[in-house]
Amino acid sequence: MEILMAFLVGILFMTATYLMLSKSLLRIIIGTGLLSHGAHLLLLTMGGLKRGAAPLLGENAPAYADPLPQALILTAIVISFGVTAFFLVLAYRAYQELGTDNMDRLRGKEGHE
Amino acid sequence: MSLLHLAVISPLLLALLIPFLHKHFRKIHTGWFLLPLPAVLFGYFLQFISVTRQGDTVMETIPWISSLGIDFTVKVDGLGLLFALLITGIGALVVLYSIYYLSPEKEKLNTFYIYLLLFMGAMLGVVLSDNLIVLYAFWELTSFSSFLLIGYWNHRERSRYGAQKSMLITVFGGLSMFGGILLLNSITGTFSITETIAMSNEVVNHPLFTATLILFLLGAFTKSAQFPFHIWLPDAMEAPTPVSAYLHSATMVKAGIYMVARMTPVFAHSGTWVWLVAGIGIITLFWGSFSAVKQVDLKAILAFSTVSQLGMIMSLLGAGAAALHYGTIQDGYYIVAVTAAVFHLINHATFKGSLFMVTGIIDHETGTRDIRKLGGLMNFMPITFTLAIIGTFSMAGIPPFNGFLSKEMFFTGMLRIAEMDIFSFDTWGILFPIIAWTASVFTFLYSMIYVFKTFTGKYQPEKLDKKPHEAPVGMLIPPVILASLAVIIGIYPDVISGRLISPALRSILPALLDDSKAYEVHIYHWHGFTPELFMTIGVIAVGILLYKTLTKWTGVYRAFPEKLALNRFYDSGLEKLELGSLNITRGYMTGFIRTYLVYIFTFFVLALGVTLFYRNAFALDFSDVAPIRFFEVVLVAIMAISAITILFAKSRLTSIILLGSVGYTVALFFVIFRAPDLALTQLVIETVSVALFLLAFYHLPQINRKEEHMRFKLGNLLVSIGVGVIVTMIALSAHSNKSFKSISEYYVENTYKKAGGENMVNVILVDFRGFDTMFEIAVLGIAALGIFAMIRLRLTRGKE
């Protein structure tokens, strides 16, 4: 399972990178979204998969899944949501103000740097 | 902190007070506040003469960064003391002179005197530090203060040009010297000069010796304006004249000489040293004096003259270093060169200092320094004329002034070098006396041009801005003192020979001397009918002849191709350097975020890939993997296909839906991998995200991919695949190599015990890592504020 997940994470990172390098703002934001999904799965995979019960003491299991990556991921999910939301509004405003979502045209003008 | 340390840094301390003094005592010229300091310091250093005369030294240390061998060690020995006296003595005279030279109404006196004090402190630091790193710091500070002083009149384009030029050249040399210091340290393991000298044998036999030597000499040669680095000194003449007299003639430019003299005991055992120092010195001597003759600006004549005289001292030090190869003093046979170097160092400071001040007086009283406009000033400025006569005659080597004595000794030194039978001096050495003699003719010539073109000949009042008259007394006192010294030393040279020259010799050539003895230095006026005497007579005769026929042969200078001038090389080199660096910067700083992302990703891939490779992290171990069930494979496939399909999606809506499907699949994975909290959060967040995307998509334009051509896509694809592969490698490697035991056990055990909760993830978030969560909330709050502000911004704009 871990090997399979490693390749899946690789694919997610690859597509995310490709999208982030494109010119359209929307695709870039989608790219960051994919990147955070990839990162979360990577964290989880590195901790080891399916070892024991869910990390709830009420389960009374002999072994529990590693709670630490889960805690980290929980934080990361929320933060990445904040970032995505911010990006979206930024893109929307940039498009409204500048009339383009093409990264090449969004470049600072001479004397505007 | 000893009194000695205080003396070194006192100018820097006073510099701190200058702005207040300048502000609160506007009616008093700021220079008067300065004047006592160098005068007192001069008196303070004078009392060390009795110490150095005995062959003793004074050493005081303040520990600084002792673990690195860097301590603020101040050492007073013969050589350092000689320089300290020059710095403070000439310093006092220059400050006095500047009080009359710089008008308090027109000039920014506070900055001027701060720079000057900065220099004075730095220069004292250079000559009295025994620690090479401290010395280097002070060394760069002198370059820096020189830069500020040359550019003092910063509204003038030439001043800025000259300041930049001197800075670039001297700092280049300074950095080279720093390299030399580090190399030397790698050989000896110490930064102390005294200890380094004691290890001279190891240094000379070390494979890095030649590199160290050349780096040190680069520092010394750039600072002392030796050929071909001399080009900065004439442009440095844009500084106010007191500065030229002080920094660019008497003290700072002699820092290179000081460095060569100081390092002589370390390096002098090699032929490279002798040849480089003597050779470059003699070339500089000739080129400087040759170039001085064609100048029409009085200060330019003096600048080239300074270049030439520095070359002369340098060549003497080189020739004198050869004395070490003979092991004994040999009746001072070879030592005479070093003696002449030290002696001329003092003489040059006296006569050149007074000549610079004379130039300043002429400039001040007539408004020009151009010898084509000047003439016949003798009758208007008799005292200045007398001073100029003393200065120039001493410079030209005419008796009875001090320059004559050192010039004779210089000839002796050069003749002796031709007699040496080491380092192939027996074949090429004969060039030295020949070049020396030729250069002396030119020296005689420009000295005569300086004095007679200015003070005799036809008076041309129509070309002058002001009616010339004698300078105020205060302006005359400093050059009068210096000129009197030139005469006194000329007549009674033994006044300084035992007190200053002999202790300095001991510092330069310590190896030849038993501890108890001192160098016997006697300087005579009359040696009998020696070759030196005939050389001097020849110089005067040929010099007069050339002066009389000046107009007939100056065409020689026009024959020199302008294209080969060193200044042209410097200017075009600088231009190309600026253009080149601009092009390189423009080449990679494109202004596109995409380009920078490519750099970041490429670096990420390379850095991690190389690290993984070298740390041997590819030893994969799959013995301990969880089993795979069929529906999990389906989920993986769904996710991978969704992610890849986004790349080809042409519509916004498809992309967003596919992203949503990836997100929900992630939630499902969380369920499978026993992470119920994550699954819940992910579901909620994903729903909100998709809603947000849909909201935004309504306002954003269609994805237009026509502008992305093939090469663009291919490049991106390569980078993306690289990132994907490296992340997969990390995931696999992290699974296979567990170097440390996980800290998770702690949380599993203590969740209930310490925090009283049953949900481990929750407890970690709100209890164990509570601060993290708090800051996370802060981040979200900031994002929310940002979003709010961006939307508000539009509303306010809309109202306008």
> Per residue in B431-453, pLDDT tens?
888 899 999 999 998 898 888 88
Tell me which H or E stretch contains B634. Answer: helix B630-648
- Chain B interface disruption, residue of A2, A60, A100, most B CBs within 10 A: A2
Question: Helical H runs in B328-458?
Answer: 335-366, 382-396, 402-419, 425-428, 431-455
ipTM value of the model? 0.91
Which residues on chain B are in Cβ contact (under 8 Å) with A111?
Answer: none
Q: How far apart are CA B714 and CA B256, in angstroms?
A: 58
Tell me whether residues A34 and B659 touch, CB distance under 8 A. yes
Does B711 or B383 have the greater pLDDT score? B383
Among candidate residues B239, B206, B205, B224, the one with its CA nearest the CA of residue B94:
B239
CA B362 vs. chain centroid, Å, equals: 33
Tell me whether residues B759 and A44 touch, CB distance under 8 A. no
Please name the member of B678, B748, B787 whose beta carbon is closest to the beta carbon of A86.
Answer: B787
Mean pLDDT for chain B overall: 86
Q: What is the phi/psi pair of residue B524, to 5°? A: -110, 150
Tell me whether residues A104 and B693 touch, CB distance under 8 A. no
Length of chain B: 800
Per-residue pLDDT tens over the stretch B37-91: 999 999 999 999 888 888 788 888 899 888 888 899 999 988 999 999 999 999 9
Residues B90 and B250 sit within 8 Å (Cβ to Cβ): yes
Q: Is B40 exposed, middle or buried (0-12, 13-18, 19+ CB in 10 A)?
A: middle
Q: What value does the mean pLDDT take over residues B29-33?
A: 86
Tell me whether residues A3 and B705 touch, CB distance under 8 A. no
Among candidate residues B347, B346, B324, the one with its CA nearest the CA of residue B335:
B324
Phi/psi class of residue B534: alpha, beta or left (left: φ > 0; alpha: ψ in -120 to 50)? Answer: alpha
Judged by a CB distance cut-off of 8 A, whether residue B550 touches chain A is: no
Q: Which residues 153-212 of chain B have a CB within 8 Å of chain A?
A: none
Q: How far apart are CA B314 and CA B258, in angstroms?
A: 10
Among candidate residues B293, B172, B314, B301, the one with its CA nearest the CA of residue B234:
B301
Tell me whether residues B625 and A18 touch, CB distance under 8 A. no
Residues B84 and B127 sit within 8 Å (Cβ to Cβ): yes
Please name the member of B655, B730, B732 whose beta carbon is closest to the beta carbon of A3.
Answer: B732
Tell me whether residues A45 and B735 touch, CB distance under 8 A. yes
Count A/B contacts: CB-CB distance under 8 Å: 269
Structure tokens at A46: 């590195």
Tell me whether residues A78 and B764 touch, CB distance under 8 A. no
Q: How far apart are CA B117 and CA B136, in angstroms?
A: 18
**DSSP characters for B322-345?**
GGGGG-S-GGGTTHHHHHHHHHHH
Residue spans of the domains in chain A: they are: 2-98
Q: Is B61 exposed, middle or buried (0-12, 13-18, 19+ CB in 10 A)?
A: middle
Tell me whether residues A4 and B628 touch, CB distance under 8 A. yes
Please determine, for residue B155, whether its predicted confidence score (pLDDT) is greater than 80: yes
Tell me whether residues B716 and A7 touch, CB distance under 8 A. no
Q: Which of A28-32, B7-11, B272-276, B617-621 has the lowest mean pLDDT?
A: B617-621
Please name the member of A3, A4, A20 whose beta carbon is closest to the beta carbon of B597.
Answer: A20
> What pLDDT score does B564 carry?
64
- Chain A interface disruption, residue of B623, B642, B716, B720, most A CBs within 10 A: B720
Among candidate residues B530, B580, B724, B290, the one with its CA nearest the CA of residue A11:
B724
Q: What percent of chain B has pLDDT over 70?
A: 95
Report CA-CA distances (Å) from B422 to B204, B322, B427, B452: 17, 8, 10, 44
> What pLDDT score does B327 carry?
59
Does B619 or B383 have the greater pLDDT score? B383
Question: Helical H runs in chain A?
Answer: 2-20, 25-46, 67-98
> Is residue B605 very low, low, confident or very high in pLDDT (cuts 50, 70, 90)?
very high
Please name the member of A70, A77, A88 whose beta carbon is closest to the beta carbon of B693.
Answer: A88
Per-residue pLDDT tens over the stretch B558-592: 777 666 677 888 888 889 999 999 999 888 887 77
* Residue ranges of E strands in B544-617: none
Measured between CA atoms, the residue of chain B closest to residue A3 is B732
Judged by a CB distance cut-off of 8 A, whether residue B107 touches chain A is: no
Structure tokens at B483: 């000129």
> What pLDDT score does B780 carry?
92
Q: How far apart are CA B15 and CA B18, in angstroms?
A: 5
Residues B288 and B256 sit within 8 Å (Cβ to Cβ): no
Using 50 as the pLDDT threshold, list the residues of chain A that sit under it. Answer: 109-113
> Is residue B134 very low, low, confident or very high in pLDDT (cuts 50, 70, 90)?
very high
> Is residue B216 very low, low, confident or very high in pLDDT (cuts 50, 70, 90)?
very high
Tell me whether residues B675 and A70 touch, CB distance under 8 A. yes
> What pLDDT score does B799 carry?
47
- What spatial distance separates the first Cα and last Cα of chain B, rounded to whole Å? 67
Q: What value does the mean pLDDT take over residues B444-469?
A: 83
Q: Residue B463 carries which side chain, given as an amino acid letter? A: K
Tell me whether residues A2 and B735 touch, CB distance under 8 A. yes
Q: How far apart are CA B521 and CA B335, in angstroms?
A: 10
Among candidate residues B251, B259, B314, B220, the one with its CA nearest the CA of residue B84:
B251
Q: How far apart are CA B268 and CA B261, in angstroms?
A: 10
Measured between CA atoms, the residue of chain A closest to residue B594 is A21
Residues A42 and A76 sit within 8 Å (Cβ to Cβ): no
Does B212 or B619 have the greater pLDDT score? B212
Please determine, for residue B429, whether its predicted confidence score (pLDDT) is greater than 80: no
Q: Among positive and negative, which fits the CA dihedral B600, B606, B609, B611?
A: negative
Among candidate residues B460, B391, B97, B83, the one with its CA nearest the CA of residue B255:
B83
Judged by a CB distance cut-off of 8 A, whether residue B675 touches chain A is: yes
Q: Residue B552 carries which side chain, given as an amino acid letter? A: K
Per-residue pLDDT tens over the stretch B508-548: 887 666 655 667 777 777 777 788 888 888 888 888 888 88
Tell me whether residues B674 and A84 touch, CB distance under 8 A. no
Per-residue pLDDT tens over the stretch B348-374: 999 999 999 999 988 888 888 888 888
DSSP state letter for B702: P
Which residues neighbour B602 within 8 Å (Cβ) at sequence distance 6 or greater?
A: B719, B722
